[in-house]
Structures are given as structure tokens and as C-alpha cells.
A and B are shown apart, each in its own frame.
Chain A
Amino acid sequence: MLSIKNLHARAGDNEILRGIDLEVKGGEVHAIMGPNGSGKSTLAHVLAGREAFEVTSGRILYQGKDLLAMSPEERAWAGLFLAFQYPVEIPGVSNMYFLRTALNALRKSRGQEEMDAMDFLALVKEKSKVVHMDRELLNRPVNEGFSGGEKKRNEIFQMAVLDPTLAVLDETDSGLDIDALRVVAEGVNALRGKDRAIILVTHYQRLLEYIVPDHVHVLSGGRIVKSGGKELALELEKKGYAWIDEEARRALTVGS
């Protein structure tokens, strides 16, 4: 589904991604872990098409198409979804209106008819249950005045409604209490399926107790320095990131 080859990206003069290689197949859940500043969030944003990051080399194929040639909205139309670490507040635009506009934009891009108001309400009702989303929040402006947990929940709610093929969750777990974490995990697990893939970007192993990944990758210094199964996450939890950095540094020295 997703194939990242030797991806380099920078913000201004600062090179952040220094050669990422990653293969994600349908049905898989990948966890990308790593210390702060390792480039995890940058990778998530590059996947979604954030223009603030410049891809200097490498390529990304998504469902056989050149992802980097697509605009952010085209990526969404193709089924890609990014759950933001810091969801944006948009005063003056109601959550419901925003979501309906987004859903209909997706449907239109796929040659489907716009969803009418009644069907949309029914869908919202169903999906808001999944994430235990307070109905009152739906009519408020997008994320405005939401608590941190409410914002994250809203991301998962949007994901449930928009029903993506590839979901990238950027530190959706950070700052969440255990109840909210369970809700997020339920939302993600509900999405799992053989034709979908999920990339979880996270700093902590905690989320992986609820969403069991097929693969775990450790990002450090803009590269994936270690990959493994779910047990790698436990090892990281025990030993911290320092040993990875040490290992990576040694590998780098040997390599150069």
C-alpha cells in the first residue's frame, strides 16, 4: 500500500528526514517510535502533504501512485488521513459543517453523490458512539475551546466518519488519560481491516497495549534505525531510547 524509499526532507535549512525506508502492506499496523526530535511528526506531515516541509530526495508510492505529486486534498481523496498531534482550532466553522463538507468532498472525488442531511446525521450518530463523542461538541466551532482529550477524540471521530484507507496518527496518545486512550484505541481497532493500514506515531509504548502493532520501527536522527515486532516496543519501554541512539551512532560511525 505504502512504499517509502530513501526519503529526505527538510524545514528551511534544517534537514530532518535523512533517508527513510518503509514498506506498509494492507491489513498492517505499524508503530513508529522514537525520541523527541527524531523526525516522527515530520514524517507524518510529509505523508499528509504539509508544504512547510520540502522533500529533497526519495519517493513515496501510495497504492502505486506518486504521493509526493499529490496535493493534501488529493491525498485525502485517495484515502489518506492524518490525525494531528495538535488539532487546529477554527473559529466560526462548526464541527458538523466542517465534517459534512469534508465527507462530501471525498464522495464527490470518488464520483459518489453528496450525502444528504438526514443520512449524514445518522452516520454522525453512529460514529460519535464509537468514540463517545459528546454531541454538544459537534455543533461547536471546530476544536475551539476543546480540551486536549476532546481534540484527540474529535480526530478519531473524523477518522471514523471519513473512513480512510491509510490512517496516520501523529502522537494521538500523548496527553491522554487512560479512558481517553481506550477510546482512541477502540476507534483505531474498529478501523482495522485487510484493505487498510495504520501508522501510529508515538513516543510511548502505552498505546501499543491497546493497539497491537504488526511492526515497530524506531526513528532516530531522521532514519529508521531499528525495526522489529511488537516486542521491540516493550524493550524500548524498559531500556529507553538511549541505547538505540548509541547503537545508531555506532552503526553510523562504522558505515562512514
Chain B
Amino acid sequence: MTGTAPAGVQSDAHLSRFTAFLKERKEREPAWLRRLREEGMARFAERGYPTSRDEEWKSTSVAPLARTSFGPAPELAPADAPRSGAAPVFALDDQDAIRLVFVNGRFQPGLSRQDRLPEGVTLSSLAAVLANEPGVLEDILDDSMRPAGHVFAALNDAFLEDGAFLSIPEGKVVEAPIHLVHLTRAGGGPAVVHPRTVIRAGKGSQATVTELHAGDGTEPVLTNAVTQICLADGAVLSHTKVVEEADGAFHVGFMPVRQGRESNFSSVSLTLGGGLVRLDPHVLLEGEGAECTLDGLYMAGGRRHVDNHTVVDHLRPRTGSRQLYKGILDGASRGVFYGRVLVRPDAQKINANQTNKNLILSGEALASSTPQLEIHADDVQCRHGSTFGQLDDDMLFYLRSRGISRDAARSVLTYAFASEILARVRVPGLRHALERRLFPEAAA
């Protein structure tokens, strides 16, 4: 059996849709974009959806997704946009922020707010850039960071239409947080969106960006997101991604990051909703002294499945990376952490730390953890480890003996486990909104 066989019927659905999609755009899109789409589609057609035979996907079955035939997401009037998820609800009301809002993958100027955007900073819908000055994106959209096995990123290449384009010029500090809010709801059948976010942080610039995904409704939505980030020398970027999709939704997020000299990238991902969620941050530390921090919290119950698949590639000396992922698994949920740290030959004086901790709240929940170090240099300091545990009986009894009910005590202890990551969310209002949603008893 070869890798092409499992592509199956639903992959064909993407293919046949692609032909019509491309035809529609033929007149107005430049040749390079058409080529990007065709190459993306070809890569997807060649491999089809991943199976358990793919090393990168062996712990996460996309079968439920592969069985579903997704059509384009319907247009929704801004007034009908879902108002779900603590993070988007916060962002839509945040008076201090800059925000772009997308409903079913389409930019909604009426819900967005850009008046606090500092001069010189570009923030606009990707669709607008593609329509008005596509040349700006020609060398950006195809950054060639496409792991062969990640066919979802290839699909995003093929179908990308809208998303956010953020470009911060050299030395600029954007004080206000920038929220990118994505809301989805299918209608008349399963729907797919392919949001693309492009962030270019110029030399020495600074910004805080949140990417918030939520949806409602009973019909499945596939959000196939690609967030490509580039930090020039000395840039500092904080990125928080919150996934609060509906129970039946699928979310696949690929996040390629390139970092220049002495740049600093910190990422916090919070996976709090969605039936099947897979996140792939992929960081290239290309400049000497570049540092990244990848933190994650995933909470799942029911039959939900969450997979965090990180890659940090130390290409240059004196680069550093720290990762802390925490999973809280209840019901019959599954949590997967796979983290790969690569240290290239001659990349000396490296500091890399990778930790995955799991709190298992039910007998049926399962966590798997595969931290991996591949070191090809000798002067390095690397550590990795994983832990699995349950709520501590002594702590529970101590709290209950003081009058805190069993459920509240469990909530307090779960919050204590999660708070280490929640505390790293840089936007205080967002952090509080999430704490109130997740731990109404503990975070009062």
C-alpha cells in the first residue's frame, strides 16, 4: 500500500472543488499565486490525508475528518456572526485593542477596529492585499516551510482567500494588543475555511498578537489555518492562540516561524475546544542568539482529541528554546504531545528545554508524550521530560477538610495546575476572561 491510496473520495472532493475555485480566479489573480495554489493542490493530491502510517500522524487519526465532505463556508451577515468562546467575546468588546474579525473566513470590516493602529504599521485583510497589491505577498506566501507530511498546509496554499496581513516596520513598538478573531458556523453541510495569517516583524519591532478561533452550530467545520511569522533581527513578538471551537469541529493549525538574530518569539497556545485539534508550531532559529518560548495548555473532555506537535530547529549558535506544554484530560479524551528539538552541527552554546506535563482526571482519558532531542553539536545544554499524574488525594482531603466541596477542590487543584500557563497570556483581560470561563469557582 502506498501513501497515495488513502487519499480517498473526500480528497477528490477537494480536487473537484479546486478546479472550479481556480477557474473563478483565473482572470484576477497573478500567475505566481496560481502556481502556489496548483503546487499546493498537487502536493495534497499526491499524498492525500495522512494515515497512521505517517510518522507525524501516528497518534492522531484524521479519519473522521477524511470521511467528511466539506464545502465552502456560507456567508454570514455580521449581525449573525457566532458570539461564542470566552476569548472572542472578550476581544470583540476590548476597547483598548486593535482587531480584525473574520466570519466564516471572510473579513468583517464592521466588526473590526483599527483606529489605534500606529502609523507605519500595516494591518489588513489578506484578501484586500491580494486584490490591490498582490506583489507585496509574492515572496512571502511561499516561504517554502512545508514539511512534506503536512498536507493541510498544502491545502491552505491551494485554497487561501483571506486572513490577516500584519507588517511592522523597523523599530516600531505596537503597544495595543492586536486580536485576530475567527468565528465560524457551518450551514447546509460541513464547511471548511483556510485562514492565512502573515506576520512580518521588522528589525527591533515589538508586538503582541492573539489569534482566537471559536465557532458554534452542530454541523462540522474544518478550520485549516496557516500562520506564518517572520521576526527580523531583534524583533520581539508575543503570539497567543486560543482554540475554542465547537465540539464537532476540526482545527488544524500550522505555524511556521522564522527568527533572525537576537529575536525573541513567545507563543502560548490554549486548546480549549474542538473535537479534533492539531497544532504544529515549527520554529527555525536562523539567527545567532534567537530565542523562542513555546507554551501550551490543552484541556479536553468527552471524546475530544488534541495533538500538539512542535518542532524547534536550532540552526545557529547561542540560540535558545523553552517549551512547557500542560495537558488536562478528562472523560475519554486523548492528548498527544510530540516535540522535536533539533540542534544542527556547529550550532554550539545551545540551550533547549522541553517539558510536557499531564493531569489525567478520568480513568478513560489517555495522554501520550514524545519529547525528542536530536543533537548534532557538542556544546549544548538540552533537557526534556514528561510527567503524568492525577489530582493528589492528600491535597484534595486538605482542601475538603477546610470546607471546600469536592468539586470545588478538584477545580481549585486543576486551576493550580493550569495557572502556570494561563499566567503567560500577555493580555490581562484575555487571561481573566479565560480563567473565568475555565475555572468559575477557582478564579473568582
**CA of A91 to CA of B394, assembled, Å:** 13
Chain B interface size, under 10 / 10 to 19 / 20 to 34 / 35 or more: 20 to 34
- In the assembled complex, A150 has its CB within 8 A of some CB on chain B: no
Which residues 369-401 in B have Cβ within 8 Å of A in the complex?
Answer: 392-395, 397-401
Find the residue from B401, B403, B419, B444 having the highest chain A CB count within 10 A.
Answer: B403
- In the assembled complex, B166 has its CB within 8 A of some CB on chain A: no
Asked if A72 and B395 make an inter-chain contact with CB atoms under 8 angstroms apart, the answer reads: no
Asked if B403 and A90 make an inter-chain contact with CB atoms under 8 angstroms apart, the answer reads: no
Asked if A88 and B398 make an inter-chain contact with CB atoms under 8 angstroms apart, the answer reads: yes
- Closest partner residue, chain B, to A86 (CB atom): B394
Asked if B403 and A105 make an inter-chain contact with CB atoms under 8 angstroms apart, the answer reads: yes
Rounded to whole Å, the gap between the CB of A136 and the closest CB of chain B is: 20
**Contacts A73-B400, A105-B405: A88 and B395 contacting too (C-beta < 8 A)?**
yes
Asked if A158 and B416 make an inter-chain contact with CB atoms under 8 angstroms apart, the answer reads: no
- In the assembled complex, A36 has its CB within 8 A of some CB on chain B: no
Q: Please, which residues of chain A bring their CB within 8 A of the CB of B420?
A: 92
Which residues 24-77 in A have Cβ within 8 Å of B in the complex?
Answer: 48-52, 71-73, 75-77
**CA of A98 to CA of B417, assembled, Å:** 15
**CA of A50 to CA of B400, assembled, Å:** 10
- In the assembled complex, A87 has its CB within 8 A of some CB on chain B: yes
**Contacts A73-B405, A101-B408: A93 and B400 contacting too (C-beta < 8 A)?**
no
Chain A interface size, under 10 / 10 to 19 / 20 to 34 / 35 or more: 20 to 34
Q: Please, which residues of chain A bring their CB within 8 A of the CB of B412?
A: 93, 98, 101
Q: Please, which residues of chain A bring their CB within 8 A of the CB of B416?
A: 90-93, 141
Asked if B419 and A92 make an inter-chain contact with CB atoms under 8 angstroms apart, the answer reads: yes
Q: Please, which residues of chain B bring their CB within 8 A of the CB of A141?
A: 416
Rounded to whole Å, the gap between the CB of A7 and the closest CB of chain B is: 19
**Contacts A93-B412, A93-B413: A71 and B397 contacting too (C-beta < 8 A)?**
no
- In the assembled complex, A162 has its CB within 8 A of some CB on chain B: yes
Rounded to whole Å, the gap between the CB of A114 and the closest CB of chain B is: 9
Asked if A162 and B398 make an inter-chain contact with CB atoms under 8 angstroms apart, the answer reads: no
Q: Please, which residues of chain A bring their CB within 8 A of the CB of B404?
A: 73, 101-102, 105
Asked if B401 and A48 make an inter-chain contact with CB atoms under 8 angstroms apart, the answer reads: yes
Rounded to whole Å, the gap between the CB of B349 and the closest CB of chain A is: 32
**CA of A88 to CA of B391, assembled, Å:** 13
Asked if A50 and B397 make an inter-chain contact with CB atoms under 8 angstroms apart, the answer reads: yes
Rounded to whole Å, the gap between the CB of A133 and the closest CB of chain B is: 16
Rounded to whole Å, the gap between the CB of A222 and the closest CB of chain B is: 22
- In the assembled complex, A84 has its CB within 8 A of some CB on chain B: yes
Rounded to whole Å, the gap between the CB of A227 and the closest CB of chain B is: 27
Q: Please, which residues of chain A bring their CB within 8 A of the CB of B398?
A: 84, 87-88, 90
- Closest partner residue, chain B, to A87 (CB atom): B398
Please give me the 9 A-B residue pairs with the lowest Cβ-Cβ distance, nearest first: A92-B416, A76-B403, A102-B402, A72-B400, A88-B398, A105-B403, A106-B403, A73-B400, A93-B416
23 A-B pairs in the complex with CB atoms less than 8 angstroms apart: A48-B401, A49-B400, A49-B401, A52-B393, A73-B400, A73-B404, A73-B405, A73-B409, A81-B402, A88-B392, A88-B394, A88-B397, A90-B395, A90-B416, A92-B419, A92-B420, A93-B413, A99-B402, A101-B408, A102-B399, A105-B405, A105-B408, A158-B402
Q: Which residues of A contact B (CB under 8 A)?
A: 48-52, 71-73, 75-77, 81-82, 84, 87-88, 90-93, 98-99, 101-103, 105-106, 109, 141, 158, 162
